[in-house]
């Protein structure tokens, strides 16, 4: 039996994507060769890369708007550094909403003056700060759309007078947004798009080439753009599998289609957390993430019973991040409503037992 996979990342991918990508590992497009043993310069793979890049822009509604999509390596964590090398001259503003923002700030501080325009640290990142000012003389503003670890999500983005950079690793392609508000978006593939090993970067070309430093080639977005995301050997399996997921998403009706499902899942999950006296939500209600629902048991003595019941119901990956504890149900695009129903059933069964 396929288990209900609530893992935070790497995480669930659509079954049909897993099937197709495993077939390609044995025989890519009937070529008699494996996807992972052919040249990345072969027409077969170049087509894959181009398809993945154009699907990403199409799904985000950014085609023909001056953006380029890249599939890079080094994870979202390398983007903390790469963004800075490409965009920071002197000063930048960061919104601190949790661990990933803090890591981004730490890397950026190596290269310039980094200011926290607002922070949710005072309440252990259980909410999203609002009503802050973004100074016009900063080089850029950086935010994290979804706080994977603590379970908060920015619902309304600020009107930003300077280039806006966003780490969308854990909620890209999950909800409709005006993506043209952002000048640079990056996302590690392993949360809503594919296997670990590639990172999507979508960048508005006009913001590049403005810093005075020499940027090492592999860190330079313009180098990757000029080489059509093939400056060096790309992670072919991760790019191919991401392309399949983007195709799957397009067939579901794009972001608009999947957002409806994501809303249903989150509504069901949070209504159980709110109604069931045995569980407490971790975050402020208005800032709850539709991707990662964090909660704790009101009575820790029930932990063993609850964990066993989850195991028996085929529920996996529910442990909270090691820095927070408790539980975290990650409900990425590929997770079905039935999986959330299975979890909610176990939660209410626990209530009737207790
Ligand atoms: C997981 C995650 C990261 C780290 O991604 P890596 O690809 O492991 O470097 C960064 N930001 C957010 C929001 C994440 O969820």
Q: What is the mean pLDDT of each run of 10 residues along the chain (354 residues)?
A: 91 97 97 97 97 98 98 98 98 98 98 98 97 97 97 97 98 98 98 96 98 98 98 98 98 97 98 98 97 96 96 96 90 98 98 89
Domain(s) labelled CATH 3.40.640.10 in the chain stretch across: 15-251
- Report residue 145 as tokens: 């759309």
Expressed in angstroms and rounded, the spacing between residue 149 Cα and the centre of ligand 1 is: 10
Residue nearest to ligand 1 atom 13, measured at CA: 169
Kindly report whether the global pTM for this prediction surpasses the value 0.95: yes
Expressed in angstroms and rounded, the spacing between residue 352 Cα and the centre of ligand 1 is: 38
Active site residue 263: no
pLDDT of residue 184: 98
Residues 6 or more apart whose Cβ sits within 8 Å of residue 211: 85, 86, 87, 88, 89
pLDDT of residue 1: 64
pLDDT of residue 114: 98
* Strand partners for 91: 113
- The structural architecture, per CATH, of the domain 15-251 is 3-Layer(aba) Sandwich (3.40)
Expressed in angstroms and rounded, the spacing between residue 9 Cα and the centre of ligand 1 is: 9
pLDDT of residue 166: 99
Please state, in angstroms and rounded to a whole number, the distance separating the CA atoms of residues 100 and 148: 8
Residue nearest to ligand 1 atom 14, measured at CA: 169
Fold classified for 254-353: 3.90.1150
Residue nearest to ligand 1 atom 5, measured at CA: 76
pLDDT of residue 353: 87
Q: List ligand 1's pocket residues with C-beta within 6 A.
A: 9, 75-77, 100, 144, 148, 167, 169-170, 188, 191
Expressed in angstroms and rounded, the spacing between residue 100 Cα and the centre of ligand 1 is: 7
Please report the atom of ligand 1 found closest to the CA of residue 148: 15
pLDDT of residue 251: 97
Please state, in angstroms and rounded to a whole number, the distance separating the CA atoms of residues 51 and 48: 5
DSSP secondary structure, 50-81, as one string: HHHHHHHHHHTT-TTTTEEEEEESSHHHHHHH
pLDDT of residue 171: 98
Cβ count near 11 (within 10 Å): 21
| Residue of 68, 139, 167, 265 with catalytic role | 167
Please state, in angstroms and rounded to a whole number, the distance separating the CA atoms of residues 331 and 44: 33
Of 73, 78, 83, 100, the one to substitute when testing ligand 1's pocket (max ligand atoms within 8 A of C-beta) is 100
Please state, in angstroms and rounded to a whole number, the distance separating the CA atoms of residues 218 and 216: 6
| Omega before 10 within 30 of 0, i.e. cis | yes
| Residue of 68, 139, 171, 191 with catalytic role | 191
Please report the atom of ligand 1 found closest to the CA of residue 144: 13
Expressed in angstroms and rounded, the spacing between residue 15 Cα and the centre of ligand 1 is: 23
Domain(s) labelled CATH 3.90.1150.10 in the chain stretch across: 254-353
Active site residue 191: yes
Using CA atoms, how far residue 157 sits from 177, 180, 268, 332, 339, in Å, is 9, 12, 25, 21, 30
């Amino acid at each position: 039996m396929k288990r209900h996979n609530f893992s935070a990342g790497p995480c669930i991918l659509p079954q049909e994507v897993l099937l197709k990508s495993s077939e390609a590992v044995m025989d890519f497009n009937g070529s008699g060769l494996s996807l992972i043993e052919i040249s990345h310069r072969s027409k077969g793979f170049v087509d894959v890369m181009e398809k993945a890049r154009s699907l990403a822009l199409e799904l985000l509604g950014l085609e023909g708007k001056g953006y380029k999509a890249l599939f890079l390596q080094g994870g979202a964590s390398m983007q903390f550094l790469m963004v800075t090398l490409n965009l920071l001259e002197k000063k930048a503003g960061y919104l601190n909403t949790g661990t990933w923002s803090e890591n981004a700030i730490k890397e950026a501080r190596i290269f310039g003056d980094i200011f926290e325009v607002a922070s949710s640290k005072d309440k252990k990142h259980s909410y999203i700060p609002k009503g802050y000012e973004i100074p016009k003389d900063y080089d850029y503003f950086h935010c994290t759309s979804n706080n994977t670890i603590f379970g908060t999500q920015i619902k309304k983005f600020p009107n930003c007078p300077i280039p806006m950079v966003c780490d969308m690793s854990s909620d890209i392609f999950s909800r409709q947004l005006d993506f043209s508000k952002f000048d640079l978006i990056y996302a590690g593939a392993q949360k809503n798009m594919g296997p670990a090993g590639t990172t999507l970067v979508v960048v508005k070309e006009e913001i590049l080439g403005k810093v005075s430093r020499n940027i090492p080639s592999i860190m330079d977005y313009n180098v990757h753009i000029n080489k059509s995301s093939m400056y060096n050997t790309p992670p072919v399996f991760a790019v191919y599998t991401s392309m399949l997921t983007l195709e799957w998403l397009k067939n579901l009706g794009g972001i608009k289609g999947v957002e409806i499902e994501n809303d249903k899942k989150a509504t069901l999950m949070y209504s159980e957390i709110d109604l069931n006296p045995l569980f407490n939500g971790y975050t402020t209600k208005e800032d709850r993430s539709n991707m990662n629902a964090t909660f704790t048991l009101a009575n820790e003595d029930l932990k063993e019973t609850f964990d066993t019941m989850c195991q028996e119901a085929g529920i996996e990956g529910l442990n909270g991040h090691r820095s927070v504890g408790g539980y975290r149900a990650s409900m990425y695009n590929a997770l079905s409503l039935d999986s959330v129903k299975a979890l909610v059933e176990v939660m209410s069964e626990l209530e009737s037992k207790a």
